[in-house]
Structure 1
Amino acid sequence: MDKQLETRYRCINRYNNLRDNFLKIASLHVTDDKLNELKLFYDKIINSKRETDRINDVIGLLKILERRAVLSFKSIEPIKYISDEFIKDPCLNQQIQNYLQDLSINETANAFVDFNIYKSQSGKNFNININNNNNLTLSNDDEKLLLNETTINDNTNNNFHKNKSSIIDVSSSSSSSLCDLKNLRHYYHENKLLIIFIISILALSIFSLVTIDSISNKLSVLEPTASATTATSTSSNLTNKTHNTFLFPSHPTTTTTTTTTTTIIPKVMQSIAPYYVKNQNDFDSQSGQSIDLQNKVFEILSENLGRYWTEVARFLDIKEGEIDRIHQNKNFGFKEKSIEVFKLFKSRRGAYNNWQQILIRALNDARRKDLVYLVEELIMNEK
């Protein structure tokens, strides 16, 4: 699983680099007329006149295609089509070809296992390879069938809808496991407060009993007149105690009370303290594991968010003023800006047990499903 996660992480980085390089070159070649042709070509996939009208450049077009699950790090067919038809840059075409070859090798080795999303209804694995004619072949055991680009796109969409229910089941199971972890920590927290309360009550009760016993023994030894004098002096001492606490440091009653208290209380706590320390250590160790996982997730996401850092920041309830402040820093790249966003999120919401659910929901709303799968795999590997 670690090797598969490393392969996925490497492919996502390569996809981000390819997409950024493609956008730099496409902005110089794709004019308004060509953009209108592309909007007409992908009109059925976009399936929204309002969304089509809002597309003003190639970046907006790629965002819509990523939301429609047509473009991802596993399927770069739109990038290849635009490059072949409108850009025709040899260096870019070579970079796309190298990426497709590497992607084919990873799929052949079953490097991508996304909750059985690439399994058919019969449960058999399908492998997709690229031949020299840029056609894709779908192999099922010994049977091979040559498919053109249109057939591959149709099969991809069908497989996506067929496996949509399985993805929802996995997401619900992941959410339930997170709820179980939250309940477990809440159980430890309640036990800690209960133990502290019991110890406080026992200590107060023992202190009261010892004090009353020492006073009664002292009064029984003294004569009636001495008892009256002692009571008078004791009341006066209690009245003046706020002015000078150590006025009579060698008072016998004070010495007896202090000595008895320090010798009896530990004996009562001996049966309770080990249980309290054990539960406290378990709680602290789980908190440390959660912090390590949180830092690991934030570090990986900051390297892969790219231009989407502003959208994720808004879905994490970061204020617009803080987003503008981060954006205006000319020394920050995409990674540094993402790090600043996660620092703000961690300082406000990261201490809560549901930070994982909030982060996954924000990535889903920002249409970065590839990063959602990556975060879910990190969480599952830490359990």
Structure 2
Amino acid sequence: MINMEKYKQLRESFLKISELHIDNITLNELKLKYKYCINSNRTMGYIKDLEFLIRVLEKRTILRYNNIEPLKYISTQYVKDPALDLILSKYDTEIKTMEYSPFYKSCSQQSVTMVESRLPQSTALPTYDPVELQTQYDPVPITGSSFNKKEQIQRKVFLRISEELGRFWRDLARHLNIRESEIDAIESQTNLDLKNKAYEALKIFASRSDDDSWKSDLLRALDNSRRKDIREMVEKHLLFQDK
């Protein structure tokens, strides 16, 4: 994948420049900043250098090829090298331009279509467009065979969250690594109420999440948004669904 190759090159350049500026004191500060995201004292103990921290953030999906906010934070707060800032800014712009270009979206859709053609009808993949905002969500119960178990659970959970969040949906969206431009685009939809805005943000999150991490990422984001009441509700729902 071109995007991942670009990201690997960026990570290599970032580490080459940054490691000269990150001593043990700074590393410990960074570990404390991301302690809640890492969520493991054992893993915290294993982090002895910047590269290992970066790998852990990638594992936790806090850092991704299309979300380099942790790298930008480390660069601006600790490294303070204009050359590195420029490298990160250029990469960020290129990735966003690529993701929003018609060619990129067309290729992405073709990839989904190729996978769908090899699957039974009942397990066809859903199509998500993170920049195409729909005006309403449909609260009709899920009964069709086109929804697999993951999608059924996600939709029920997202509807419950949307009903409870209210005006705090923007905070949750940020903790789900949704871009400010996307949040603003949702906010600008004057025909959407708060529930629908929250649901649109969750749909964007779903389009970028995977089967293994979406639950933990969502629960962590609710905690970080200081909505532990909703987190507990969602956690109980997920535990019930997994039985």
TM-score by length of 1: 0.32
Asked which structure has the greater RCO (Cα within 8 Å, sep 6+), the reply is 2
Instruction: Decide which structure has the larger Cα Rg and report it.
Output: 1
- Normalising by structure 2, what TM-score? 0.49
